[in-house]
Structure 1
Amino acid sequence: MLFTEDFLHYIWKFRLFERSNLQTITGEAIEIFSAGMHNTDSGPDFGNARIKIGDTLWAGNVELHLSSSDWSKHNHTTDNAYDNVILHVVYRDDEPVILPNGRRIPTLELKNRIPDELFNRYHNLVYGTQTIIPCEASIGKLDDFTLKTWFTRILIERLEKKSEAVIAALAVNRGDWEETFYQFLAANFGFKTNAVPFELMAKSLPQNILAKHKNNPLQIEALIFGQAGFLNGDFEDEYPRKLKTEYEFLRKKFSLNPIDNHLWKFLRMRPLNFPTIRLAQFAALVVNSNHLFSKILEVKDVKSLQKLFTDIKVNAYWDEHYQFDKPSKPASKNMGQTSADLLLLNTLALFLFSYGKHNQQEYYINRSLKLLETMPGENNNIIADFASPGVKVNSAFETQALLELKNYYCNYKKCLQCSVGNKILKLA
């Protein structure tokens, strides 16, 4: 039967082995008062365990291996960190472990103490032939409480990991939340395909420069399209010619260097997602939004937050264009509801969480979670993978949790670290 040392850790942590008449290999009685705290760093596997061996109550570390000979194979004999191990727990005992001081470490063998049913459930979960997720045959049958509790935990894990990038950028920006938010918002305006050039454009054009021209939409548009590298050529239409004239003046005034135009991607994109349209929308947002991050901290309801994006009006030139000097049929280029929701999900919710965590204010953390609870969930292949075995989701709170579950647990078969996997293994 295939299994890993992690499975042995799981067995020990939750005491899922036959515990009657426990004895060491040499026949001393064992009584476990505490299995100890699981250590995921270097050193013994469990610390602060309390175990009675013979007539002596010991407090210390417990080390686990598939075979007792792994002790020497892992070079623990010469590592002082293992000198205070009070019990060696192994699946199979194949040799005694003797420390340099001559002490033989008491050993507990679990080979005949793990239920076959538990072995089978573990093997089917981790080594089975599932095609979508390891627990696809069982996850749809689990109770809502187990799922919702786990979703909350892994959603917070996801937000905590993503907030590390926010706090790192905040340090680079010397604690300026508005500038940091502006850069992340710009990157998310690129919607993955053009996230990098959007971010580079924003970093090349500090918000304080844009603030000096808030009352002149043409100059804001000139700065954004110019720094994006779209005003280098000769134009036929009056609008891009005006933008170029304004940008050439402003570029010299602020010693600006545009990014390379070739970074932007148009291939295989719907015209409404062309970077030129996204830049026009971003420029309109900048024109209409002073101190946007401060507004977001104040605005509480989702509809008002959505309107910050859906109510912006791009320059009328784009009503009949998707690119400069290329006329098209009239069509609105204002931001749609789906795009606005993605910006709320990927930028606003993240920054509310990051701000609350950084400033130790639970209010903003809860607002972030509440925002996700009231937003519709995403619709993508990963969410469909969970819907197939019967997992029901109703909000972005749940779909974001499922993305984390799939990418960081299911894909690596970390079922033993997952509450869903734990529940399935423990089912009678």
Structure 2
Amino acid sequence: MREDLLYFIWRHNKLPTEQLCTGNGETIEIRAPGTQNRFAGPDFFNAQVEIDGQLWAGNVEMHLKSSDWYVHHHQTDENYDNVILHVVWEDDIAVFRRDGTQIPTLEVRQYVSDQLLNGYQNLMNNSRTSFINCEKDLRDVDSFVVENWLHRLFIERLENKSRLILDLLEESKNDWEAVLFMLLAKNFGSKVNGNYFLERAKQLDFSVVRKTTNESMQLEALLFGHFGLLQVDDCSDSYYLQLKKEYKYLSSKFGLTENLSKPEFFGLRPLNFPTIRISQLVNLYAGNHNIFSKLMEVNSLQNIYKAFEISTGPYWEDHYTFGKLSKKRVKKLSKKFVDLVIINTLVPLKFCYAKYLGRDWNEDLIAMVSDLGKEDNSIIKNFEQIGMKTQNALESQAKLELYTNYCTKNKCMQCTIGTQLLNRNT
């Protein structure tokens, strides 16, 4: 039993309209359940409840046991002074406000039908499933309901991604160009080196990047050195030694801190080697000023792909690591890689920037991501196996949000699909 069942019962009017009574025998009539609060404070705001003929307007708090009121120290919290009704599964003790007045308590377990309770327990019984709780019943949910829920989840995912962007903006004193650089660095590091690249990018004053963008050799030396790629033992390669010399000069000029850490190569395909990704990142920025402004103005996928038509420098056409020749190959960013940049950097950044400007670009962003192909990972494959097909990147992003923040946390009663299934059976 979880409190989220109480929220569901209250929000969806699953209690009988008559014969409701408090623990003290006072009659209760629920006029309006109020608005659920998902943050700190009472669980429902602005409810209207008639108790013994007297209409009350205020907040409703919910617990499995009424004694949880004291476990959570609500009796000393002014945020709970306006609670007009305490809704609990088990009423085991009387509770009082800070001023000493008793709060009416509604024990709901005596009013909940066996059908609803069995439906809830069946839904939450993950011993019968291999992936998510509702996998055996998912096909019964109306496709229109699922589609609308996925759209909401996509926006919710953007809101969650915004937290990192807002943190980076604060750290960079609202330098949007610097934030774009940090997010791109994270993307270019991919899954293995993403966090390492982000931390290194955060520790590099972006003004130094700005000052070196007109000299590709300086920019390449700066980024290769700062990201820990100029620490090769016994390398006599002339290009490597030139970069090393240039980075030493830049370190002295700009007071850069020596980096003793290194990115990972192990387990990566050669095209994902950090050397290749840093060279591509260099070519994106070399001679290219105000990239953020340009990308924020671009709305078509075609123009975004054009902006990311970049490859490595000439040296890396026949190298993957310093000093080791390989078969010559032009190493451009793949469409699949650029799609991930769009999904993980450009769209969240556009979302935040629109809010900063006081605009609503949500429909444009939804349209853009809907035109991208779906992501290919184990979670999306598992959804496919239980009959939930994925058409595009919007749906794959939404399903990642669904799985990560709802399914794995058993938040079925906060999920539209879960509540739809439970409503169907009650």
* Structure 2 length-normalised TM: 0.89
2:416 partner letter: S
Given that 2:69 and 2:75 are in contact with CA atoms closer than 8 Å, whether structure 1 keeps it comes out as yes
Which residue is equivalent to 1:91? Answer: 89
Q: Does 1:192 align with 2:191?
A: yes
- What is the CA deviation profile of residues 266-295 of structure 1, one whole-angstrom value per residue up to 9, with x for unaligned ones? 111111111111111111111253221111
Identity percentage of aligned residues:
40
Deviations, residues 60-81 of structure 1 (Å, cap 9, x unaligned): 3334344455556666566666
Corresponding residue for residue 378 of structure 2: 381
- 1:246-325 pair list within 5 angstroms: 246-260=246-260, 262-287=261-286, 289-309=288-308, 311-325=309-323
Match of 2:400 in 1: 403
| Distance in 1 separating the partners of 2:61 and 2:203 | 53
SS in 2 for 1:362: coil
Distance (Å, rounded) in 1 between the aligned partners of 2:176 and 2:293: 9
Other-structure match for 2:167: 168
Note the C-alpha offset of 1:199. Answer: 2.7
Partner of 1:238: 238
2-structure distance, mates of 1:340, 1:101: 60
Aligned partner of 2:149 in structure 1 is 150
Q: Distance in 2 between matches of 1:69 and 1:241?
A: 71
Q: How far 1:374 moved relative to its partner?
A: 1.4
How far apart in 2 are the matches of 1:219 and 1:34?
A: 66
Task: Report SS of the residue matched to 1:61.
Answer: strand
Q: What's the CA shift for 1:224?
A: 1.9
Worse overlay, 211-220 or 289-298: 211-220
Measure, in 1, the Cα distance between the counterparts of 2:350 and 2:155. 13
Equivalent residues in 2 for 1:21-32 (5 A)?
Answer: 21-32=19-30
Equivalent AA in structure 2 for residue 322 of structure 1: Y
Shift of 1:217: 2.4
Provide closer, same or farther for how the CA distance between residues 196 and 95 of structure 1 changes in structure 2, counting only shifts above 3 A: closer
Matched residue pairs, number?
Answer: 423
1:393 to 390, 394, 404: 390
Question: How far apart are the structure 1 equivalents of 2:333 and 2:123?
Answer: 44
Give the stretch that moved more between structures: 192-201 or 160-169.
Answer: 192-201
The one-letter code matched in structure 2 to 1:265 is E
One-letter code of the match for 2:269? R
Q: Distance in 2 between matches of 1:361 and 1:151?
A: 22
Q: CA deviation at 1:402?
A: 0.9
Q: Distance between the aligned counterparts of 1:300 and 1:184, measured in 2?
A: 19
Shift of 1:299: 1.6
Aligned counterpart in structure 2 of residue 354 of structure 1, from 345, 348, 352: 352
Per-residue CA distance 1:366-393 (angstroms, 9 max, x = gap): 4333321211111101111211111122
Displacement of 1:417? 0.9
Identify if the C-alpha distance between structure 1 residues 88 and 205 changes in structure 2 by more than 3 Å, giving closer, same or farther: closer
**Structure 2: segments with no counterpart, 5+ residues:** none
Shift of 1:315: 1.7
Q: Which moved more, 1:40-49 or 1:4-13?
A: 40-49
Question: Which residue, out of 414, 418, 423, partners 1:421?
Answer: 418
Residue segments in structure 1 that go unaligned for 5+ positions in a row: none
After superposition, the Cα gap between the structure-2 partners of 1:5 and 1:227, relative to the gap in structure 1 and judged at 3 Å, is closer
Task: State how far apart, in whole Å, the 1-side matches of 2:199 and 2:42 are.
Answer: 46
Range moving further from structure 2, 123-132 or 194-203: 194-203
Which of 387-396 and 417-426 deviates more? 387-396
